[in-house]
Amino acid sequence: MASEQPQGGDRWVFGYGSLMWRPGFPFIDRRTAVLHGRRRAFCIYSVHHRGTYDRPGLVLGLAPGGAVRGVAYRVAESAWPEVYAYLREREQPTETYFEAWSKLRIDGNGEVPALVFLSDRKHGQWAGALTLEQQAQLIAGARGLSGPNIDYLRDLVGHLREDGVRDHAMEALLKMVEGLEG
């Protein structure tokens, strides 16, 4: 799964959560991509973007196992230093992820190395494998600097549908959270 960071040239970045619909950086290509060996999961306690230390929410991470469909962005070599600095600030406010260069299968491009933010299972914000009910309890009512936790879940489900992906577990989770929030 791990690969070498490209030396020079354009670079790819993988998004499996909010980077899919709100990258926030300039890119020259956007493609559907699959990362093998990891799966999308609400496995990170959020104390910054979607919760607080007093009332943590949950955000997505890449848990071991399976495969995840997301989006790969090709970033021009000239823009890379600025984009990389932006991604570090956005994705690492509490260092809950570690960076890796992993091979992605990109529609129309075969396999390419891409920057991926993987969940650090040794970090204190690692929530691990929670039931849907536990996830719903944590997401319902949580709010952080980026807004209500439920909005993040709604955005995820909506954008997955737009990309032709039906994630039945995420859809069931959204129904549970909506029920808890009334």
Residue 159 CB partners (closer than 8 Å, separation 6+): 20, 21
Do residues 64 and 102 lie in contact, with contact meaning Cβ atoms separated by under 8 Å? no
Query: Is 91 one of the catalytic residues?
Result: yes
CA distance 168 to 162: 14
- The residues, any chain, with a CB within 8 Å of residue 56's CB and separated by 6 or more, are 45, 46, 47, 125, 138, 142
Out of 82, 91, 162, 171, which one is annotated catalytic? 91
- For residue 127 the two structure tokens come to 């929530």
Residues annotated as part of the active site: 91
